[in-house]
Amino acid sequence: MPDPRPPRALRLGVAGPVGTGKSSLLAVLCRALSGDLALAVVTNDIYTDEDARFLRAEGVLPAERIRAVETGACPHTAIRDDISANLDAVEDLEEEFGPLDLVLVESGGDNLTATFSPALVDAQIFCLDVAGGGDVARKGGPGIARADLLVVNKTDLAPYVGVDVPRMVADAQQARGGLPVLALSRTDPASLAGLTDWVRALLARYRSGAHIPTDPGPVAPHSHSHSHSQGRGNPHHGDSTQP
Ligand SMILES: Nc1nc2c(ncn2[C@@H]2O[C@H](COP(=O)(O)OP(=O)(O)OP(=O)(O)O)[C@@H](O)[C@H]2O)c(=O)[nH]1
């Protein structure tokens, strides 16, 4: 009988501002899914392989299934403008350990404008946390408005930072026109189950051919001090506060 699976693994990106819990979210997914799915991970950091080392130290997957891309520049560059290093890492993992079911790609922590190219991932999660402030969800941007899933993370911290989680989720829902929003905390097992259920449902849609990758949209124009030697016409002007 022919193998009904698509020719390659589902590629799922996780983006969002620095420290919002992207690596922790990947660790949750690896722990929950590696029992019955073949997984691999690609991490992106600007100057280190810290996120990959964190995941290897957590023992969530065999160490060799976790690859680090050192972007050396704005994290968005390597997931959006010139995706070659990430694509190489994903394809190497598939070649060495395939057939895989799911490859998770973690963006280096960036700002609200960073999203993955649809040429790199089939779907993407955008991760905010309550510690960034309850009004962040209202600020919009391509990831908040159009990622396949928006996570409002670390809800256990809400009482300490004065954030009204239902309000923040409602704001996010309003910004997303019906796309899903998930309030998440590592201290709330039901929320973690909600995350893994969403990924399993996405994988089922991908395998059946029902999932249509969508592009949340490009980064906003901005400027900064380093150059983008391999950038392809990415506009860089305007807000000099961006990394
Ligand atoms: N209270 C709380 N802390 C969390 C939760 N998830 C992650 N953290 C903590 O948040 C901090 C940042 O988490 P990471 O997973 O490293 O975040 P990240 O987005 O990968 O960080 P960068 O890769 O540096 O952008 C760590 O100290 C985590 O332990 C959560 O659900 N609740």
In a domain, 230, yes or no: no
CATH value at residue 167: 3.40.50.300
Nearest CA to ligand 1 atom 7: 21
Nearest CA to ligand 1 atom 28: 21
Do 84 and 92 touch, CB atoms closer than 8 A? no
pTM for the predicted model, two decimal places: 0.88
Cβ–ligand 1 distance for 18 under 6 Å, the answer yes
Domains contained in the chain, number: 1
Cβ–ligand 1 distance for 109 under 6 Å, the answer yes
Q: What is the pLDDT of residue 242?
A: 34
**pLDDT exceeds cutoff 80 at 3:** no
Give 52 Cα–ligand 1 centroid separation in angstroms. Answer: 14
Number of the ligand 1 atom closest to the C-alpha atom of 127:
19
- 21 marked as part of a ligand binding site: yes
In a domain, 92, yes or no: yes
Q: What angle do CA 24, 18, 41 make, to 5 degrees?
A: 45
Give residue-wise pLDDT tens across range 24-61. 999 999 999 999 999 999 999 887 888 999 999 999 99
In a domain, 231, yes or no: no
Give 39 Cα–ligand 1 centroid separation in angstroms. Answer: 21
Q: What is the pLDDT of residue 219?
A: 52
* Mean pLDDT score, 98-103: 97
Q: Is 72 left (phi over 0), alpha (psi -120 to 50) or beta?
A: left
Q: What is the pLDDT of residue 227?
A: 45
Cβ–ligand 1 distance for 20 under 6 Å, the answer yes
In a domain, 33, yes or no: yes
- ipTM greater than 0.90: yes
**pLDDT exceeds cutoff 80 at 225:** no
**pLDDT exceeds cutoff 80 at 5:** no
